[in-house]
């Protein structure tokens, strides 16, 4: 009998939380941007993180790439707790393995530098090139990889000479320069024309298949998430309210908020879209009331929803949901 696979996931996020101090010193308050987020991301997997603006998606990305420090929780990379490693060399090594692509492909590029210079910087910083000829060859190879040809001509251009889709490909090439294991892609196609979004998404799929690169794909667009992601997580008001394999989650959503998202996407409407009304009541992130954060908008709300915050419940087929419609097994037995 074979031993079970003990290999840890590439990324293991455990009960991650983030509070921001808001208001004055006399009456300080705290904005809870992220509440006990837990998930794993495997090698060569694309995991989509879906939700409305302000749901906490980008906060997770900034914490995972270590642009900010969490208030609580752990981040493990191949089983190592990266938050307790010393800054300096360890941070540089982590940044080599974990890269980020931002939403605005132009804002992330310096208009005074050529495309080639943008790609040279990470190669030099991480000692990926020993000679000038090697550096130039690696820059051209990166541009070839993301489909920007002829590479020598593109390398000599400036960001403002490229289209939005081409600039985003440059951002991907820059992330690839250090040969990462994981790329955090924060709304990478939201500012691009619909006609070229598929090109960038196909590039992500190609990098996953050919290089085994994992992606945490952050988006508000369920259609693009379905197109690229092996699994999905749905966020609302700093909570991961549902997670599971993409097909299963879209064909049979469990959380009322997931249903609300699906009903707002025409190409995803069907037997699984319940057409929930978009009720008023934005979630309170500063000093939130007790109970489920979605209670004010939920058509299935009950008294317990207003009293207690639901905890994650694991179901069949890798599904996880935070909703009182799916009580914890211990609670079901006691009742």
* 88 — pLDDT class (breaks 50, 70, 90): low
For residue 213, pLDDT over 90 is answered with: yes
Q: What band does 1 get if pLDDT is binned at 50, 70 and 90? A: very low
Mean pLDDT of the chain: 88
Provide mean pLDDT across the span 132-146.
96
Q: What is the pLDDT of residues 232-291, one digit of tens each?
A: 999 999 999 999 999 999 999 999 999 988 887 765 544 333 433 444 556 767 878 899
Residue 327 pLDDT level (bands cut at 50, 70, 90):
confident
pLDDT, average across residues 51-64 = 93
User: Is 82's pLDDT higher than 50?
Assistant: yes
**Measuring CA to CA, which residue among 186, 194, 139 is closest to residue 165?**
194
Quick one: angle between helices 115-125 and 132-145, nearest 10? 120
Q: Where are the beta strands (DSSP E) in the chain?
A: 11-22, 29-41, 46-50, 72-77, 80-81, 98-101, 182-186, 214-219, 231-236, 239-245, 313-314, 320-321
Fold adopted by 11-112+158-334: Rossmann fold (3.40.50)
Residue 68's pLDDT band (cuts 50, 70, 90): very high
Residue 17 DSSP one-character state: E
Q: Which of 147-156, 166-175, 236-245, 287-296 has the lowest mean pLDDT?
A: 287-296
CA distance 238 to 200: 28
pLDDT band per the 50, 70, 90 thresholds, residue 330: low
pLDDT > 70? residue 335: no
Put residue 244 in one of left, alpha, beta given phi > 0 → left and psi -120 to 50 → alpha: left
Q: How confident is the model at residue 172 (pLDDT cuts 50, 70, 90)?
A: very high
Average pLDDT score over residue span 107-134: 93
Q: At 202, phi and psi to the nearest 5? A: -65, -35
Domains of the chain, residue spans:
11-112+158-334
**Two tokens, residue 218:** 């952050």
pLDDT number for residue 173? 96
pTM, two decimals, is 0.89
pLDDT at 36 over 60: yes
Q: What is the pLDDT of residues 2-18, one digit of tens each?
A: 555 678 999 999 999 99
Confidence (pLDDT) at 86: 62
The confidence score (pLDDT) of residue 283 equals 72
Cα(153)–Cα(115) distance, integer angstroms = 10
Pairwise CA distance, residues 324 & 292, whole Å:
9
**Residues 17-32 pLDDT 10s:** 999 988 777 777 888 9
Predicted pLDDT of residue 280: 53
Predicted pLDDT of residue 308 = 95
Distance CA 261, CA 82 (A): 34
Answer whether residue 324 shows pLDDT above 60.
Answer: yes
Higher pLDDT, 215 or 125: 215
CA distance 23 to 30: 8
pLDDT band at 311 (very low <50, low <70, confident <90, very high): very high
Cβ atoms of 224 and 200 within 8 Å: the answer is no
């Amino acid at each position: 009998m074979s031993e079970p696979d003990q290999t840890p996931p590439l990324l293991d996020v455990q009960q991650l939380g983030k509070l921001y101090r808001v208001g004055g010193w006399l009456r300080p308050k705290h904005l809870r941007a992220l509440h006990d987020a837990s998930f794993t991301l495997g090698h060569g997997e694309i995991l989509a993180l879906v939700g409305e603006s302000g749901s906490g998606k980008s906060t997770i990305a900034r914490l995972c790439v270590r642009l900010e420090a969490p208030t609580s929780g752990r981040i493990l990379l191949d089983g190592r707790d990266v938050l307790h490693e010393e800054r300096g060399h360890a941070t540089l090594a982590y940044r080599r393995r974990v890269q980020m692509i931002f939403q605005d492909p132009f804002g992330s590029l310096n208009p005074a530098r050529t495309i080639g210079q943008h790609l040279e910087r990470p190669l030099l910083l991480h000692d990926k090139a020993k000679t000038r000829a090697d550096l130039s060859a690696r820059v051209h190879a990166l541009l070839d990889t993301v489909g920007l040809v002829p590479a020598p001509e593109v390398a000599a251009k400036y960001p403002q000479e490229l289209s939005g889709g081409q600039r985003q490909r440059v951002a991907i090439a820059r992330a690839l320069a250090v040969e990462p294991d994981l790329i955090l892609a924060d709304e990478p196609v939201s500012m691009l024309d619909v006609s070229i979004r598929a090109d960038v998404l196909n590039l992500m799929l190609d990098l996953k298949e050919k290089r085994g690169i994992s992606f945490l794909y952050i988006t508000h667009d369920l259609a693009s998430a379905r197109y690229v992601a092996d699994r999905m997580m749905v966020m609302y008001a700093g909570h991961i309210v549902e997670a599971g394999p993409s097909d299963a989650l879209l064909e049979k959503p469990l959380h009322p908020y997931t249903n609300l998202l699906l009903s707002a996407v025409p190409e995803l409407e069907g037997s699984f879209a319940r057409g929930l009304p978009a009720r008023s009541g934005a979630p309170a992130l500063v000093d939130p009331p007790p109970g489920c954060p979605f209670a004010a908008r939920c058509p299935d709300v009950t008294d317990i929803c207003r009293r207690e915050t639901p905890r994650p419940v694991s179901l069949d087929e890798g599904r996880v949901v935070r909703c009182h419609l799916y009580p914890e097994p211990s609670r079901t037995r006691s009742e």
